[in-house]
């Protein structure tokens, strides 16, 4: 970890909520918000219990929080519930029964709308399909699908019968899928023939075929027909979604599950080469996803809500599927690329469905800026009343553009900070109550005890940089790393005793607002996707020509960071342009296109400290063309000269 974190941003603009917005909001004023925050501070457990009571529990809890064995939390102990029940059954006896639950658009332009009743039927049927294929409570099911309603159906069906889903983003390669299946010891894979992306078919089933040549735990594959591309169906192993659904009963009661029953595993990048299976459980996650969706997006019954995230990432889990459906909202899903068939696609979707709440990522916003204002200008965006961002720090210029060009100057922007590990939004404006400033996620969600601390764990004074930690457990926190309790303790709870360490640097300004400064560990953020530098390094080193590799993030206008790799080769290998291309393709094959190095630089040696640690700070400086920093701890200074010289040659 760096000794010192410097913060350079200064931003003075501030935007209080309009009276019109505030007067109709769930939380209508700063005073109301402050009262809520202080009640939550005095008695956090009572605060979370009051929220949990808005949901359905088959059996009430005997204890809100069991923190007797930290950092292993148990929330709502003794209670039983079911998230699928809370997302579906709970609404069927109300006016929501025939309300749109999912409003889906495929990339080619096809539209499907599923009401709560229709979604319920499909979920029950797929629950029975899973059971028929031998899936039982606690079994893991891998979902590797395009963004189609069937993905949400499969998730809700798993939750319904107590199976644990692990969704693998459709952009990951067969190798990455195989590793995740094996780590989770999944029994079944649910996939599709393909998915549409920029007019092309992503061959999901073919990837599954390659992945499961080496997955001993897999007993079957269910294949949804999305694109009609030709696929091989292996008799006895592969099952057609449509045929299976036609042959089962539509009654599938929601299992009464313990509050701590595992709900899903989602793999995310850390500082080692091995992705971490972040485990979330039922009752606490449900409570967090539910209340953050309601308060942060200020959701109203009549809203049409759209979160553009892929469901393969945590944002899609919490804010495309579980949070909105637990609230009985109408959630929009779009399958494809934002610029297909043209860069106006998102704005057409907003106009077509009358979207009121729009939640996307800074990297997307920067792409919209690049494509130009003429695209949003072609569509009527007046239905919008609230905008959100997530995934990385948003630069103030992009924030202002979002506010003016997309929000017409009238929509509050909620910049929401959170992580796969936190399950739900942690630091965010509450839009009717908290004035926003461009570039800051503002204040912790009521009940969340976040702080910025120095290396000793002491809060830093205003405007000093430090480490972002959370000091108290919260319901939607991860419970462990699947199969590796020790790594969970070490990674998140050892740096600052008693605190959860986020891996992010931050500062608080004189209003107490949190300014997130990005990762302080070896994780980079490419287009809002977290990638462990070690993962990419491991992929490079697995190539026969490579001896050693160091990967760093280089600042990038569009993607936030781009992947920059320094590679040393084995004896007798030559760093040719052809090898450079081959290595890029190699990483795509091993991990997926999101991890493709933008730059690869060959080196005789990498700059290392005397203890053998690669000096990434120096590599970062070289990558950004300003190697001026302190080199006194460097083992061999000529290494730096060589790396710099190469830069000039190119
Ligand atoms: C970064 C995505 C600044 C941060 C929900 C965090 C952000 C990591 C923000 C988690 C934000 C997310 N401002 N940085 N509003 N939101 N991040 O697990 O570095 O994919 O630790 O979860 O993204 O990424 P993850």
The answer to whether the pTM exceeds 0.75 is yes
Task: Assign 3-state DSSP to the chain and report helix, strand, coil percentages, each to 5.
Answer: 35, 25, 40
The pLDDT of 628-632, averaged and rounded, is 57
Question: Ligand 1 atom closest to Cα of 427?
Answer: 15
Residue 316: band (very low, low, confident or very high) from pLDDT cuts 50, 70, 90: very high
User: How many angstroms separate the alpha carbon of residue 524 from the centre of ligand 1?
Assistant: 11
**Secondary structure tally for the chain: helices H, strands E:** 22, 30
Long-range (24+ apart) CB contacts under 8 A made by 10-14 are: 11/396, 11/437, 11/438, 11/439, 11/440, 12/437, 13/396, 13/400, 13/437, 13/438, 14/435, 14/436, 14/437
Planar angle of CA 114, 115, 116, nearest 5 degrees: 120
Q: Which atom of ligand 1 is nearest to the CA of 519?
A: 19
pLDDT for 648: 44
What mean pLDDT comes out for the span 354-365?
96
Q: Atom 5, ligand 1: which residue's CA is nearest?
A: 419
Report the candidate in 568, 566, 542, 571 with the shortest Cα–Cα distance to residue 553: 566
pLDDT tens per residue across span 110-125 = 999 999 999 999 999 9
> How far does residue 416's CA lie from ligand 1's centre (Å)?
8
Q: What is the mean pLDDT of residues 47-64?
A: 98
Average pLDDT over residues 338-357: 98
Cα separation, 519 vs 636, in Å, equals 28
The protein residue whose alpha carbon is closest to atom 6 in ligand 1 is 419
Task: Report residue 531's pLDDT band, with 50, 70 and 90 as the boundaries.
Answer: confident
For ligand 1, atom 1: residue with the closest CA: 392
- Which residue, judged by its Cα, is nearest atom 24 of ligand 1? 419
Q: Indicate which residue's Cα is closest to atom 8 of ligand 1.
A: 419
pLDDT of residue 621: 85
pLDDT digits 0-9 by tens, 267-291? 998 777 788 999 999 999 999 999 9
Average pLDDT over residues 504-520: 93
Protein residue with its CA nearest to atom 11 in ligand 1? 417
Q: Are 567 and 533 in contact (CB under 8 A)?
A: no
Q: Report the distance separating Cα 458 and Cα 446, nearest Å.
A: 22
624 three-state secondary structure: coil
* Segment 160-189, tens digit of pLDDT: 999 999 999 999 999 999 999 999 999 999
Residue 229 alpha carbon to ligand 1 centre in Å: 36
Task: Give the mean pLDDT of 371-392.
Answer: 97
Output the ligand 1 site: residues, CB below 6 A.
268, 313-315, 390-393, 415-420, 441, 502-504, 516, 518-519, 525, 530
Q: Kindly indicate the confidence band of residue 413, based on its pLDDT and cuts at 50, 70 and 90.
A: very high
Whose CA is closest to atom 7 on ligand 1?
Answer: 392
Ligand 1 center to 324 CA (angstroms): 20
Nearest-10 crossing angle of helices 204-211, 174-184? 60
What distance in angstroms lies between residue 518's CA and the mean position of ligand 1's atoms? 8
Burial pattern 146-176, b for ≥16 Cβ within 10 A else e, equals bbbbbbbbbbbbbbbbbbbbbbbbbbbbbbb
| Per-residue pLDDT, 8 | 53
pLDDT for res 614 = 78
Q: Answer whether residue 416 shows pLDDT above 60.
A: yes
Summarize the confidence of residues 368-385 as an average pLDDT. Answer: 97
* Whole-number pLDDT of residue 2: 46
Å from CA of 587 to ligand 1 middle: 24
Grouping H, G, I as helix, E, B as strand and the rest as coil, residue 111 is strand
Q: What is the mean pLDDT of residues 86-94?
A: 98
Task: Supply the pLDDT for residue 1.
Answer: 46
Which of 418, 503, 529 most suits a substitution to test ligand 1, by most atoms within 8 Å of the C-beta?
418
Q: Which atom of ligand 1 is nearest to the CA of 416?
A: 15
State yes or no: cis peptide before 341, omega within 30 of 0: yes
pLDDT at 544: 93
Predicted confidence (pLDDT) at residue 322 exceeds the cutoff of 60: yes
Tell how far the Cα of 460 is from the centroid of ligand 1, in angstroms.
Answer: 22
> If you measure from the C-alpha of residue 347 to the centroid of ligand 1, how many angstroms do you get, rounded to a whole number?
25
pLDDT at 18 over 60: yes
Tokens 């965006």, residue? 381
pLDDT of residue 251: 97
| Residue 246, φ and ψ in degrees, nearest 5 | -70, -20
Residue nearest to atom 12 of ligand 1 (CA): 391
**pLDDT band for position 635 (50/70/90)?**
low
From the CA of 518, give the closest atom in ligand 1: 19
In this predicted structure, the answer to whether residue 637 has a pLDDT above a threshold of 80 is no
Domains of the chain (ranges plus CATH)? 1-82+416-520 (2.30.38.10), 89-255 (3.40.50.12780), 523-649 (3.30.300.30)
Residue 521's pLDDT is what? 84
Cα 520 to middle of ligand 1, angstroms: 12
For ligand 1, the distance from its centroid to the CA atom of residue 417, given in whole angstroms, is 6
Cα of 391 from ligand 1 centre, angstroms? 4
What's the average model confidence in pLDDT over 356-379?
A: 96
Instruction: Choose the residue to mutate in 323, 530, 533, 559 for probing ligand 1, maximizing ligand atoms within 8 Å of C-beta.
Output: 530
Residue whose CA lies nearest to ligand 1 atom number 25: 419
Question: Backbone phi, then psi, for 304, in 5-degree steps?
Answer: -105, 120
Say which range, 357-371, 479-493, 526-540, has the weakest mean pLDDT.
526-540
Specify the ligand 1 atom closest to the Cα of 516. Answer: 3
pLDDT at residue 622, rounded to an integer: 85
In the three-class reduction of DSSP (H, G, I as helix; E, B as strand; rest coil), residue 115 is classed as strand
For residue 546, the CA-to-ligand 1 centroid distance in Å is: 32
**Integer Cα distance of 313 and 268 in angstroms:** 9
Q: Which atom of ligand 1 is nearest to the CA of 313?
A: 20
CA 540 to ligand 1 center in whole angstroms: 26
Among 419, 501, 502, 531, say which to mutate for ligand 1: greatest number of ligand atoms within 8 Å of CB: 419
For ligand 1, atom 23, the nearest C-alpha belongs to 391
Can you say whether residue 104 is alpha, beta or left, with left for phi > 0 and alpha for psi between -120 and 50 degrees?
A: beta
Ligand 1, atom 15, lies closest to the CA of 417
Q: To the nearest whole number, what is the mean pLDDT of the chain?
A: 93
Q: State the closest ligand 1 atom to the C-alpha of 415, by its place in the atom list counted from 1.
A: 15
pLDDT score recorded for residue 273 = 72
3-state DSSP call for residue 540?
helix
Residue 295 has pLDDT above 90, yes or no: yes
CA of 622 to the centre of ligand 1 (A): 26
Contact status, residue 634 vs residue 570, Cβ threshold 8 Å: no
Confidence of residue 68 (pLDDT cuts 50, 70, 90): very high
Ligand 1 atom at minimum distance from 394 CA: 13
């Amino acid at each position: 970890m760096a000794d010192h974190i410097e913060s350079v941003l200064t931003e003075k603009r501030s935007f209080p909520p309009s009276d019109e917005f505030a007067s109709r909001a769930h939380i209508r004023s700063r005073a109301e918000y402050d009262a809520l925050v202080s009640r939550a501070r005095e008695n956090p457990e009572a605060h979370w219990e009051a929220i949990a009571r808005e949901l359905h529990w088959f059996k009430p809890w005997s204890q809100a929080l069991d923190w007797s064995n930290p950092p292993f939390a148990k929330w709502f102990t003794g209670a039983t519930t079911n998230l699928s029940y809370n997302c579906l059954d709970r609404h069927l006896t109300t006016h929501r029964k025939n309300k749109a639950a999912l409003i889906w658009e495929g990339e080619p332009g096809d539209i499907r709308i599923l009401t709560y009743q229709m979604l319920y039927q499909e979920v029950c049927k797929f629950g029975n399909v899973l059971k028929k294929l031998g899936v039982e409570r606690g079994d893991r099911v891998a979902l590797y699908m395009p963004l189609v309603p069937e993905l949400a159906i499969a998730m809700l069906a798993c939750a319904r019968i107590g199976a644990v889903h692990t969704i693998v983003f459709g952009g990951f390669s067969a190798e990455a899928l195989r590793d995740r299946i094996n780590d989770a010891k999944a029994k079944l894979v649910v996939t599709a023939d393909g998915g549409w992306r920029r007019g092309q078919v992503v061959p999901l089933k073919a990837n599954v075929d390659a992945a499961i040549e080496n997955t001993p735990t897999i007993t079957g594959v269910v294949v949804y027909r999305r694109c009609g591309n030709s696929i091989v169906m292996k008799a006895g192993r592969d099952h057609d979604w449509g045929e299976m659904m036609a042959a089962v009963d539509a009654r599938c009661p929601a299992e009464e599950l313990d509050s701590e029953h595992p709900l899903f595993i989602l793999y995310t990048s850390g500082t080692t080469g091995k992705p971490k299976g972040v485990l979330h459980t039922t009752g606490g996650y449900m409570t967090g996803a539910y209340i953050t969706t309601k308060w942060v997006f200020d959701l109203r019954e009549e809203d049409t809500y759209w979160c553009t995230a892929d469901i393969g990432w945590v944002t899609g889990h919490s804010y495309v599927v579980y949070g909105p459906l637990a609230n009985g909202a109408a959630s929009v899903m779009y399958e494809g690329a934002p610029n297909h068939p043209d860069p106006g696609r998102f704005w057409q979707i907003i106009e077509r469905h009358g979207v009121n709440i729009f939640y996307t990522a800074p990297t997307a916003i920067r792409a919209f800026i690049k494509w130009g204002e003429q695209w949003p200008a072609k569509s009527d965006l007046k239905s919008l009343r609230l905008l959100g961002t997530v995934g990385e720090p948003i630069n103030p210029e992009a924030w202002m553009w979002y506010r003016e060009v997309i929000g017409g100057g009238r929509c509050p922007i909620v910049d929401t900070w959170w992580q796969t590990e936190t399950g739900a939004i942690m630091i965010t404006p509450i839009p009717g109550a908290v004035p926003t400033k461009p570039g800051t996620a503002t204040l912790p969600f009521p009940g969340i005890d976040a702080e910025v601390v120095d290396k000793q764990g002491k809060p830093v004074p205003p405007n000093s940089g430090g480490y972002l930690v959370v000091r108290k457990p919260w319901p939607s926190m991860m419970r462990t790393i699947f199969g590796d309790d020790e790594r969970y303790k070490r990674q998140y709870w050892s740096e600052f005793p008693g605190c959860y360490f986020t891996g992010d640097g931050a500062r608080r300004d004189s209003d107490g607002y949190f300014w997130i400064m990005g990762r302080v560990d070896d994780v980079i953020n490419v287009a809002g996707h977290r990638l462990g530098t070690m993962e990419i390094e491991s992929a490079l080193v697995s190539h026969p020509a490579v001896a050693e590799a160091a990967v760093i993030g280089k600042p990038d206008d569009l993607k936030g960071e781009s992947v920059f790799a320094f590679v040393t080769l084995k004896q007798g290998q030559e760093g040719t342009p052809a090898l450079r291309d081959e290595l890029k393709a190699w990483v795509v094959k091993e991990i997926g296109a999101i991890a493709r190095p933008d730059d690869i630089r060959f080196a005789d040696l990498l700059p290392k400290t005397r203890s053998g640690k690669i000096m990434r700070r120096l590599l970062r400086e070289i990558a950004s063309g300003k190697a001026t920093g302190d080199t006194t701890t460097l083992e061999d200074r000529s290494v730096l000269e060589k790396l710099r010289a190469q830069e000039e040659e190119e």
